[in-house]
């Protein structure tokens, strides 16, 4: 933006497009970009120019564009949620990454990367994974993919501090179980009972999503209303847990 473009804009500041000039511009979760921003991005890609907020001059840029998404963009184009011209602009070279549960030994490689990363960040001395932990990492379905793996490893490193990461530190074995968990809501508020053994918040969220879709007979708009979510938020959470 330019100096004076809005309150507190006391100096000119370069945006991401300008900073990426001559390099690579990575757009994560491109499938969730709203239509208004898609229009602006198409213009920048086609004309290779943009204007700062509050500016009057075009700024020319040249860069390589990379984008990632876990959405079916072709379907989004058909449904009118993603611009066709932007899709064809970006879809020069397409690479498909299978979900983590289908990547075999890759899970252990990525887990080891996060283990070393969080050891350094938190000053811990965890010495890798036990045999049972490795087996669990490869067998677990990972509905949240790499983000879930990253969180699981950071939690294990923080809990263990030193020694070997065992299945007890990973907290994955009971993630799909909801026995002992009860939730009731009435006019006086909400009552929640959690078992002494603990409960996975992600398992609770997945169960609520599945139940709402069941009650709505697959109608996402109705399911979103049941959970007091926007349709966009519901779609994101359904994709997160691979719920159709």
Q: Which CATH architecture group holds 182-240?
A: Orthogonal Bundle (1.10)
pLDDT score for 104 = 84
pLDDT score for 83 = 94
CATH number (3.30.70.330, 3.40.50.970, 3.40.30.10, 3.40.50.300) of 16-90 reads 3.40.50.300
List, in sequence order, every residue forming a beta bridge with 186; answer none if it has no partner: 189
CATH class of 104-170: mainly alpha
pLDDT band at 174 (very low <50, low <70, confident <90, very high): very low
Q: Beta strands 64-67 and 125-129: pairing type? A: unpaired
pLDDT score for 181 = 63
> pLDDT by residue (tens digit) across 25-44?
999 889 989 999 999 899 88
| Sign of the alpha-carbon torsion through 118, 119, 124, 125 | positive
> pLDDT by residue (tens digit) across 55-92?
888 899 999 999 998 888 999 999 999 999 999 999 99
CA distance 6 to 22: 28
> pLDDT by residue (tens digit) across 114-140?
999 999 998 988 899 999 999 999 988
The least confident of 118-127, 189-198, 204-213, 230-239 is 189-198
Q: Are 68 and 28 in contact (CB under 8 A)?
A: yes
Domain limits, the chain: 16-90, 104-170, 182-240
| Sign of the alpha-carbon torsion through 159, 164, 170, 171 | negative
Q: Are 104 and 138 in contact (CB under 8 A)?
A: yes
């Amino acid at each position: 933006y330019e100096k004076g473009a809005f309150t507190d804009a006391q100096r000119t500041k370069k945006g991401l497009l300008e900073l990426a000039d001559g390099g690579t511009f990575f757009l994560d979760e491109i499938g969730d970009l709203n239509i208004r921003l898609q229009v602006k991005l198409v213009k920048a890609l086609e004309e290779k120019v943009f204007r700062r907020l509050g500016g009057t001059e075009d700024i020319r840029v040249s860069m390589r564009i990379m984008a990632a998404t876990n959405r079916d963009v072709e379907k989004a184009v058909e449904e009118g949620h993603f611009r066709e011209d932007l899709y064809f602009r970006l879809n020069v070279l397409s690479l498909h990454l299978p979900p983590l549960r289908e990547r075999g030994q890759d899970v252990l490689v990525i887990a080891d990367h996060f283990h070393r990363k969080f050891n350094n960040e938190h000053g811990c001395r965890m010495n890798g994974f036990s045999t049972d932990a490795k087996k669990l990492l490869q067998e677990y379905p990972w509905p949240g993919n790499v983000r879930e793996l990253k969180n699981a490893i950071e939690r294990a490193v923080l809990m263990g501090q030193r020694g070997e990461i065992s299945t007890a530190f990973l907290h994955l074995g009971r993630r799909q179980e909801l026995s002992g968990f009860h939730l009731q809501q009435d006019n006086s508020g909400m009552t929640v009972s959690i078992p002494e053994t603990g409960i996975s918040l992600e398992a609770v969220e997945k169960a609520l999503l599945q139940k709402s879709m069941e009650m709505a007979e697959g109608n996402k708009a109705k399911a979103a209303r049941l959970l007091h979510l926007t349709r966009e938020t519901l779609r994101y959470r359904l994709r997160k847990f691979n719920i159709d």
